[in-house]
Structure 1
Amino acid sequence: MGILQAVAFTAAESEAEDSGIGPGLYGLLVLIFLIVALFLLYRSLRRQIRKVDFDPEGVDDAERMRGHREPPER
């Protein structure tokens, strides 16, 4: 890109900023879509986390990976 093209691009960019054109309806719709998608992902994540099997005995990860479990004390 030449120097003259860069200057022309910068000038055109500053004119577009002064035109008063904003995001409008499409920007609002995109924002609403993103909020709904985020809410649905949050609900899905909560549902998946509830399915995690929590071990109350406190077996650590190393023992779980070996498949070793000490027998319960009587």
Structure 2
Amino acid sequence: MIEMTMSPMDDFLYHLHKYMEYTTEMRSSFEHLTEREQQIIKEASPMSQGPEELSKHAYEWHDALYATLQKK
């Protein structure tokens, strides 16, 4: 049996894709919180941002990297 291994870049892309999925799930959960709970979460964040910003940045990072690598 031949074992295929991922290149380090493919491994990173896999994890970036998973990060996109996780931030999307966090954003969905966040949207169901009260305004006060959302504020507490944003205040606790190192950059005072909520999951919606993290998710947006993850998608932008993913798309820019794939465009740079010409992977579609």
TM-score interval for Structure 1 and Structure 2 normalised by the shorter chain: 0.3 to 0.5
More helix by share: 2
- TM-score, normalised with respect to structure 2: 0.35
User: Considering only CA atoms, is the larger Rg found in Structure 1 or Structure 2?
Assistant: 1
With CA pairs under 8 Å and 6+ residues apart, which has the higher RCO, 1 or 2?
Answer: 2
